[in-house]
Amino acid sequence: MSSQRRLRLSWTKRVAVAVAATASAVTVTVIASPAANATVYNSCTVSGCSDAVSANSIWSSMNYPSSRGWYNWPDGECNYAGGTYYNDDGQLPSGDSFQEFDVYPRSCGAHRDAVRIVVDMNNGEVWYSPDHYSDFYQL
């Protein structure tokens, strides 16, 4: 092997060792995003609360379906049951079995809005969120 080739291999190996050493010395810091800053109210006095109460009454009469999807609603419209609400950021008080439901009906398959109710399936508490989980009002 020529001395040039040996020198090139040696240089390549030195670079590889330097890269490996640098990579092992680098510390990667992962910063988790903070929990959502939802505001929780113990009563519901904002606009939309009566609509949420009405929607909850209908969902309740349907035994709060646990499967995601469109459901037939009075007057020939549909409404969407969103399935499990995970409360991952701990916005709501204790509980681990929540289901989410849309408040306002529409034609089946239409775009969903941001207005929801969330039901604690363990204790029956119902929360209204007019802004997709930034605020919760207990019904």
Listed by start position, the domains of the chain span: 39-138
The mean predicted confidence, pLDDT, of the chain is 79
pTM: 0.70
Per-residue pLDDT tens over the stretch 74-108: 989 999 998 888 888 888 877 778 999 999 999 99
Instruction: Please tell me the CATH superfamily of domain 39-138, with its number.
Output: Microbial ribonucleases (3.10.450.30)
**Out of 38-42, 46-50, 51-55, 71-75, least confident range:** 38-42
Q: What is the largest CA-CA distance in the chain?
A: 88
